[in-house]
A and B are shown apart, each in its own frame.
Chain A
C-alpha cells in the first residue's frame, strides 16, 4: 500500500502536464460552474483539484480507484476560465494515466471501461493508422447514427467514391489505405514511446480483475471476451 502511494507521488510529480495543469488552486469553483460533466454527473473538478493539491496520497489513491476521474469529458472549458490558469482537464489526464499504470482503474465501473477503449480504439489505431473506419461503425452498435449511416455503411465502396474519396485504396486522399512503410513507423513509435506498454498494463490488470470477478473459462483462466461483454453492459448498480 505504501509502495503504491509512493509510486503515485513520483508519477504525479514527474508528469509535465501536472506541472502545467495545477498552479495553486484557490477553490473558487469557476471550473465547476462551467464544467459540462459537473452538470450531468456527480462530478466536481474543484473538489478533485483540492484533493490533488492537498497531497494526501491516501485520498488521491481513492480518487484513482473511483468513477470520479472518468467523468470528465475532456472539453477543456475549465482551462479558459480558471483565474489561476489551472487546467483540471489536464490534471485528470495525468490521474487517469496513473490509475491505469497502477491498476487502480479496475476498481471502478467507469475505470474498467478503459479495457473496451484499449481493445476497440487501441486495436484500430495499431491495425490501420486511423482512429476509426466506416466498417467499424456498425449500425447495430450505433442506433444514433440513423438510416443514412446504415445506407452508407452498407454501400460504402460506392458512396465514398461519389464525393471523391479514396476508401481503402493506395495513394493520397480521404480514407486511403495507409501504406506498409508508414504503418511500420507508426507502430515503432507506439512501442518506443510506451503506448504498447500501457496497452499491456491495461490488458494485464483487466485479466486480474476478470479472475477476481470469477469471469473465467473452463481452464479457470480469465475469459476476456466475456469480461468485455461484462464491462460493456455494466450498470451503475450492478456491481
Chain B
C-alpha cells in the first residue's frame, strides 16, 4: 500500500545545512551497527564530496542515563555544551547527530535555552567552572538521516542498484520506522513532522522502493530505556515490538528501515526472541524481516560490499533482501576477518533463516 500523505509533508521542511559538518556519534550504533557509522562518513566524504569532522574528544551525550533518570538535566546540558565548545574550537557550526535519543536531547536542550535563557547562563557557568570552556550555539543541528534524506537524489544518481526486486521487476516493499525522539517531541525539527515523517520514505521512494503504511506504523519499538536495561522489565520492550510485527505482517514487507539505533537493534533482536519463544516469524516464507539502517540501505544502493557495511552484525539474516536486490556477495566472506580467515566459531543458521 502506498502512503498518500505527501500534501501534508510540505508543512515541515526543515533547514538542513549543506556542508561542513561536525559529527556526534551514538553509543548504541557504535556497539551494534558500527559499519553504519563508518559508511555515513564514507558516503558523505567520498560520494557526496562534503567535509565532516570526526572528533576523538567527544563523549556520550548521556541521553540514555537521562531517560533512565540517573543523570540530571543539568548534566546533559553541560555535556551538550562541551560538545558545542569542541565544535566552536574547530570553527564549525553544523552539528550532525548519529543517535535519535541524542538528537531529541539536543533539541530539548536548545529549546530550553531558548525559553529559559537563565538555564543557558547556568550551563555556561557550569561548563566554565568544570572545564574552563566557552561555547557558541550551533547554527544547525540535524540527525544523520536528515543528511542522507537531503542528498537522496545525489545518491540515486550514483546508484549501482535500486530497491527493486530484480526477479519480479516490482519495487521492494519497505516499512519505515522512525525513532520516537526524532520528531514526536519537536515535530518542527523532523522532516515531515511527527505525523507524516518523510525522512525515510523519501529515501525509499527516491531509490525505487515502495513504502508500506500499516496501523501501528508510529508505535514505539518499546525500548523504554529502563525497561530494556533492567532485565526484569524487558518484556515491555518485546511486547511493543511484537505489536508492530503483528501489524505489519499482513503487508509482507521485504525489509524494515529505521533511523534510530535502538529501534534498529530491538526490531532485529526481538524477531529472534519471538522465534525462539513462540516459533513465530513475521516475514516472507517463514523468514524474519531484515531490519536495516538508512546507511545500510544507501550503501547497498551505492554498491558497497554488504560485509563492509556490517550486515553480519544483524541477527535476522539480510541475504534474502540482498538476493532480491540482485546484489552479488560471497556468503563465506560474512564471517571473515581482514586477512580472509574465518573468525571464531560462526553462528549456526537455523531453518528459519534467523541466524
Partners in one complex: yes
* Residues of A participating in the B interface, judged by any CB pair closer than 8 Å: 16-17, 20, 36-37, 39-41, 70, 73-77, 79-80, 87, 93, 96-97, 100, 110, 113-114, 116-118, 120-122, 125, 129-134, 137, 141, 143-152, 154-155, 158-165, 170-176, 178-179, 181-183, 185-186, 188-195, 198-199, 202, 232-235
Number of inter-chain CB pairs below 8 Å: 263
- Chain A min CB distance to B280 (Å): 15
When distances are taken between beta carbons in the complex, the residues of chain B under 8 Å from A16 are: 112, 115-116, 119
Q: Which one, B131, B219, B240, contacts A188 given CB within 8 A?
A: B131
Q: Are B30 and A74 in contact (CB under 8 A)?
A: no
Interface residues in B293-308 by Cβ distance below 8 A to A read 307-308
When distances are taken between beta carbons in the complex, the residues of chain B under 8 Å from A182 are: 56-59
Q: A148 with B69: in contact, given A130-B27, A171-B56, A189-B78 (CB under 8 Å)?
A: no
Is there a chain A Cβ closer than 8 Å to B37's Cβ? Answer: yes
Interface hit among B8-16, B142-150, B177-185, B319-327: B177-185
Q: A132 with B184: in contact, given A73-B223, A148-B347, A188-B130 (CB under 8 Å)?
A: no
Interface majority SS on A: helix, strand, loop or mixed? helix
- Chain B min CB distance to A90 (Å): 9
Query: In chain A, what residue has the closest Cβ to B223?
Result: A73
- Chain B min CB distance to A130 (Å): 5
Which 3 pairs, one residue from A and one from B, show the smallest C-beta to C-beta distance?
Answer: A73-B224, A163-B35, A188-B130
Chain B interface size band reads 35 or more
When distances are taken between beta carbons in the complex, the residues of chain A under 8 Å from B313 are: 148, 152, 163
- Chain B min CB distance to A48 (Å): 15
Is there a chain A Cβ closer than 8 Å to B206's Cβ? Answer: no
Report the separation of the CA atoms of residues A146 and B224 in the bound assembly, to the nearest whole angstrom: 20
When distances are taken between beta carbons in the complex, the residues of chain B under 8 Å from A159 are: 312, 337, 343
Query: In chain B, what residue has the closest Cβ to A95?
Result: B69
When distances are taken between beta carbons in the complex, the residues of chain A under 8 Å from B44 are: none
Report the separation of the CA atoms of residues A81 and B6 in the bound assembly, to the nearest whole angstrom: 20
Q: Are A117 and B184 in contact (CB under 8 A)?
A: no
Q: Mark B248-284, 1 if CB is under 8 A from A, else 0.
A: 0000000000000000000001101100000000000
Interface residues in B17-62 by Cβ distance below 8 A to A read 25, 27-28, 30-31, 34-35, 37-38, 54-60, 62
Q: A193 with B75: in contact, given A134-B31, A162-B338, A163-B38 (CB under 8 Å)?
A: yes
- Chain B min CB distance to A108 (Å): 13
Q: A165 with B34: in contact, given A74-B67, A185-B130 (CB under 8 Å)?
A: yes
Q: Which one, A37, A79, A148, A193, contacts B355 given CB within 8 A?
A: A148
Q: Are B229 and A121 in contact (CB under 8 A)?
A: yes
Q: Are B130 and A192 in contact (CB under 8 A)?
A: yes
Query: In chain B, what residue has the closest Cβ to A151?
Result: B347
Q: Are B220 and A73 in contact (CB under 8 A)?
A: yes
Q: Are A121 and B82 in contact (CB under 8 A)?
A: no
Q: Are B343 and A70 in contact (CB under 8 A)?
A: no
Query: In chain B, what residue has the closest Cβ to A177?
Result: B56
Q: A113 with B78: in contact, given A97-B72, A175-B34 (CB under 8 Å)?
A: no
Q: A174 with B30: in contact, given A97-B72, A144-B272, A186-B59 (CB under 8 Å)?
A: yes
Q: Are B30 and A130 in contact (CB under 8 A)?
A: yes
Q: Which one, B28, B37, B184, B230, contacts A76 given CB within 8 A?
A: B184
6 A–B contacts, CB within 8 A, in A order: A149-B269, A152-B313, A164-B308, A165-B34, A181-B57, A182-B57
Report the separation of the CA atoms of residues A236 and B112 in the bound assembly, to the nearest whole angstrom: 37
Could you list 18 further interchain pairs (A-B, Cβ under 8 angstroms) beyond the known A174-B34, A175-B31?
A70-B226, A73-B236, A75-B181, A77-B184, A113-B230, A114-B70, A117-B69, A121-B64, A125-B71, A144-B234, A146-B354, A151-B344, A163-B308, A175-B30, A181-B57, A189-B82, A189-B126, A193-B78
Q: Are B227 and A121 in contact (CB under 8 A)?
A: no
Most-contacted residue by chain B among A70, A79, A148 (CB, 10 A): A148
